[in-house]
Amino acid sequence: MKASAPGKIILFGEHAVVYSRPALAVPVTQVHVDVEVLDSPRKGIWIHSQGIDLHAELNSLPADHPVGSVILNLFSTLKISSLPALDISIDSTIPVAAGLGSGAAVSVALIRALALHLSHPLTDEQINDLVYEIEKLHHGTPSGIDNTVITYAKPVYFTKGRPMETFNVGKPFTIVIGDTGIPAPTKESVGDLRRLWLRNTNYFESIFNEIAQISLIARRSIESGKPELLGDFMDHNHSLLQEMTISSPELDKLVSAARNAGALGAKLSGSGRGGNMIALVDQAKAESVAGALISAGAKRAIITEIK
């Protein structure tokens, strides 16, 4: 059985979403994880992943291995005690630790393919709940937005602890994603912000409220077919993320380069410090903004149409 999962970007509201403010995220289908599960002629569960040079039997992996723990978690949920003989191939074009949700996408595609192969098909809701539990093992206190957008592969308006809402894109728009190439350590940036918030709660709460307003208005602009309004909201959200100490000189440099090359607005996206930034562009300017990002030091630039 085969299954896939896309990458993701957060358009608005990263970090504030951990404090129960709404955030907007969309799938990025140009990059994806593809998993194939086959019955194996030899004993054991063999995992092959060219990208991370992994060719190993499940039992030889450390207990907290991200792939091994997903498989064992699923077997325990499905109450499967005798392990079948399987060959599992994992291929991914999602850059690792870049804030595009590669870990959550591996979990979603792996669970979906395995559950289908074992004739225990799961609903998106069940997959999402399982992947959220796995995200908690690796990231401490995730909001759940990454696993949700990747599981449903639709634009989501997400508020922690509330039922997930998808939203419609009234008019397609183009985003250029620039990758600093610097790992984006979610656990650390979320932890640092928590310490600052504990010391100065009122100040950060008011920033989070401003971000919540941006997410709300941005959703309306997208739904009503006025994506050109998002540029200013992106700039504003980025300056709030800077105040939250979530940006970095490398991200700021890419954000400025995008704006100077004619983007309508730009901001960091995801956990920050490293990882990605995003820029809203007229389609005709997408290539030149992508080129400007590479000239300013981006390791890669991805042009994606949000629809």
Under the binding rule (CB under 6 A), the answer on residue 17 touching ligand MEV is yes
H or E element at residue 269: strand 265-269
- Of 261, 270, 281, 286, the residue at the interface with ligand MEV (CB under 6 A) is 270
In the residue annotation, 146 being an active-site residue is answered as: yes
Interface with ligand MEV, residue 146, by CB under 6 A: yes
Candidate ranges 114-122, 140-148, 209-217, 260-268; the one touching ligand MEV (CB under 6 A) = 140-148
- Token pair belonging to 28: 């990025």
- End-to-end alpha carbon distance in the chain: 28
Q: Which residue stretch of 14-22, 37-45, 163-171, 226-234 sits at the interface with ligand MEV (rule: CB under 6 A)? A: 14-22
102 binds ligand MEV (CB under 6 A): no
| Smallest separation (angstroms) from ligand MEV to the CB of 97 | 11
Alpha helix positions (H), the chain: 66-77, 102-117, 124-139, 145-152, 186-199, 201-223, 230-243, 249-260, 286-295
Beta carbons of 151 and 127 less than 8 angstroms apart: yes
Number of residues that bind ligand MEV (CB under 6 A): 14
CA dist 106 → 32, 64, 151, 257 (Å): 9, 15, 11, 32
In 42-176, alpha helices (H): 66-77, 102-117, 124-139, 145-152
When asked if residue 186 is in the footprint of ligand MEV (CB under 6 A), the reply is yes
Q: Which of 64, 87, 146, 252 is catalytic?
A: 146
Locate all alpha helices (DSSP H) within 5-80, ordered by sequence. Answer: 66-77
Residues 216-255 close enough to bind ligand MEV by CB under 6 A = none
Using CB under 6 A as the criterion, which residues of the chain lie in contact with ligand MEV when the complex forms?
10, 14-15, 17-18, 99, 142-143, 145-146, 186, 190, 270-271
Catalytic site positions: 146
